[in-house]
Amino acid sequence: MSDENRCLLKAGVRNLVNELIIKHEEIADEVSSIKDPEEALKVALEKVAGEDAYDFLCDFAPIAEANYETLKEVFSRKYSPKTLDRLVEAGALERKGDRVRLPIRKLKMELRGDPRIVAEYWRKMMEKDGGPKETCEFLSAAIDAGWIEEAVDLYLKQEQPSDKLVEVGEKLVETLEKDEVLRKELGKKWAEVLRHVANMCFDTGRKSEAERYYSMAISEFVDLAKEDREKMKDLAKLLYNLANLYHFMRRYEEAEKNYDWSAEIMREEGMREELAVVLDSLGLLCMNLGKLDKARECLEESAKIRKEVAQKDRSVIPEYAKTVNNLGVLYRRLKELDKVESCYMDVLDMLRDLAGTSPEFIPELATVLNNLASLYLDEGREEDAERLVAEVMMYESFLPPDIRMRYYMNLAKILEKKDRQTAGEYYFKAACLAFNLFKNYGYNAPNFIHLFEKAERLAEGEISGDAAIMKNAIMKFYYKVDTVPPSGVKYSKRGELILKAARGEAMKFVVQSEEDATAHIIARDILPKARAKMRKYQDSKNN
Whether the pLDDT of residue 103 is over 70: the answer is yes
Q: DSSP letters of 197-257? A: HHHHHHHTT-HHHHHHHHHHHHHHHHHHHHH-TTHHHHHHHHHHHHHHHHHHTT-HHHHHH
Residue 251 burial class via C-beta count within 10 angstroms: exposed 0-12, middle 13-18, buried 19 and up: middle
d(Cα 401, Cα 204) in Å, to the nearest integer? 27
d(Cα 264, Cα 280) in Å, to the nearest integer? 14
Q: Out of 330-339, 439-448, 509-518, pick the least confident.
A: 439-448
Q: Out of 258-262, 419-423, 535-539, pick the least confident.
A: 535-539
Give the confidence band of 213 by pLDDT, cuts at 50, 70, 90.
very high
Over residues 119-130, mean pLDDT: 90
**Averaged pLDDT of the chain:** 92
CA distance to 11, 114, 132, per residue, from 108 (Å): 12, 13, 21
d(Cα 468, Cα 484) in Å, to the nearest integer? 11
Residues 61 and 107: beta-carbon distance below 8 Å = yes
What angle, 0 to 180 degrees and rounded to 10, lies between the N-to-C axes of helices 81-90 and 53-60?
A: 90
The reported pTM is 0.80
pLDDT at 6: 46
Q: Out of 98-102, 326-330, 444-448, 486-490, pick the least confident.
A: 444-448
Residue 267 vs residue 359, higher pLDDT: 267
pLDDT tens digit string along 174-194?
999 999 999 999 989 999 999
pLDDT tens digit string along 350-380?
899 888 888 889 999 999 999 999 999 999 9
Whether the pLDDT of residue 114 is over 80: the answer is yes
Closest CA to 316 of 276, 357, 367, 278: 276
* pLDDT more than 90, % of the chain: 82
pLDDT at 358: 87
Whether the pLDDT of residue 68 is over 90: the answer is yes
Whether the pLDDT of residue 442 is over 50: the answer is yes
- In degrees, rounded to 5, the angle at the alpha carbon of residue 114 between the alpha carbons of residues 110 and 117 is 120
Over residues 128-132, mean pLDDT: 82
Stated as kind and residue range, the H or E segment containing 318 is helix 317-333
Residues 92 and 16: beta-carbon distance below 8 Å = yes
For residue 406, which amino acid is it?
Answer: R
pLDDT at 9: 61
Whether the pLDDT of residue 314 is over 90: the answer is no
* pLDDT more than 70, % of the chain: 98
| Helix, strand, coil % over all residues of the chain, rounded to 5 | 75, 0, 20
pLDDT tens digit string along 403-418?
999 999 999 999 998 9
pLDDT at 3: 47
Give the confidence band of 130 by pLDDT, cuts at 50, 70, 90.
confident
pLDDT at 7: 46
pLDDT at 4: 46
pLDDT tens digit string along 75-94?
999 999 899 999 999 999 99
pLDDT at 5: 43
pLDDT at 542: 75
Whether the pLDDT of residue 212 is over 80: the answer is yes
Give the confidence band of 337 by pLDDT, cuts at 50, 70, 90.
confident
> Which sign does the torsion angle of CA 441, 447, 453, 458 carry?
negative
pLDDT tens digit string along 287-300?
999 999 999 999 99
Show Cβ contacts of residue 402 under 8 Å, excluding neighbours closer than 6 positions.
Answer: 433, 437, 443
pLDDT tens digit string along 221-264?
999 999 999 999 999 999 999 999 999 999 999 999 999 999 99
Over residues 476-493, mean pLDDT: 90
Over residues 149-160, mean pLDDT: 95
- In degrees, rounded to 5, the angle at the alpha carbon of residue 492 between the alpha carbons of residues 490 and 497 is 115
Whether the pLDDT of residue 543 is over 70: the answer is no
Give the confidence band of 426 by pLDDT, cuts at 50, 70, 90.
very high
pLDDT at 521: 95
